[in-house]
Amino acid sequence: MTDPQSAAERAAHHLALVEEATLHLLHTVAELKPDAVAEPSALPGWSRGHVLAHLARNADSLVNLLDGARTGTDIPQYTSEEARDQGIEEGAPRPVDVQLADLRATGERFAAAAARLPAEAWAAEVRHRSGAVFPASDIPGRRLAEVEYHHVDLDAGYTPAHWPAEFASAEFRRLAGKLAGADLPAVELLAEDTAERAVIGTGAPALTVEGPVRALLAWLSGRAGGDGLRRTPDTALPPLPPLG
């Protein structure tokens, strides 16, 4: 069982990071030109408006999980997958000022819902829309990942090089851990700036990939094709399975 005190401390740390990441996101959106929301994002099939609508609705969905942890009830993250998709599609075409106001309001609702949780509630279990169960103390970290990754996906000047060092290192370890033992040829990963090492795939590594931790994370998360990475031997990077 998750220790309530350590869970509350971990949540508080990530909530501070979420607040900072959200401020950076709001600044980027405030600088967008009026027609920019209709332009393509870095995600196939999604405009920038889709990305912004998803970020806003994700914040509200996590408020549901926070309220469930606080009240001890099983509140679904979304009422249905159809409702989730509909919210994104309906929100995508909105003008940039409306998108900005929505992001700001949902960010405030998320912070307020988190502030209402007593320390012991952070150890409560909640259910992701996929069915996975995890402690409520993971919710701030999940929101941080949504904001940081999709800020890059906006393709509006914020790149993997802007990711905070702590976020990049933590996500490198998390994604490399998910890919350990995956069905792909083994690859040794070396983060030259943090001295972190990991092996993904199966078998003995025949390929070593080296570079800054942000560049490694950009590749692992599908945000880049391997720019800034050195390969030994100099062969193509293997395709990575979707992480879900």
Report domain extents, the chain.
4-158, 165-232
**Could you tell me which CATH number the domain at 4-158 has?**
1.20.120.450
**Contact present, 124 and 72 (Cβ < 8 Å):** yes
- Burial level of 184, CB count in 10 A (0-12/13-18/19+)? middle
Tokens 């919210």, located at residue: 87
In this prediction, residue 3 carries a pLDDT of 82
- Burial level of 227, CB count in 10 A (0-12/13-18/19+)? exposed
Backbone angles phi and psi of 5, in degrees to 5: -65, -50
CATH 3.30.1050.20 fits 165-232, yes or no: yes
pLDDT along the chain (244 residues), means of 10: 86 98 98 96 97 98 98 95 96 98 98 97 95 96 98 98 98 97 95 97 96 98 94 94 76
Radius of gyration (C-alpha) of the chain in whole angstroms? 19
What residues pair up with 232 in beta bridges, in sequence order?
208
In this prediction, residue 227 carries a pLDDT of 85
For residue 233, cis peptide bond before it (omega within 30 degrees of 0): yes
Three-state secondary structure of 37-94:
HHCECCCCCCEHHHHHHHHHHHHHHHHHHHHHHHHCCCCCCCCCHHHHHHHHHHHCCC
In this prediction, residue 113 carries a pLDDT of 98
Q: How many helices (H) and strands (E) does the chain have?
A: 7, 5
CB atoms within 10 A of CB 47: 17
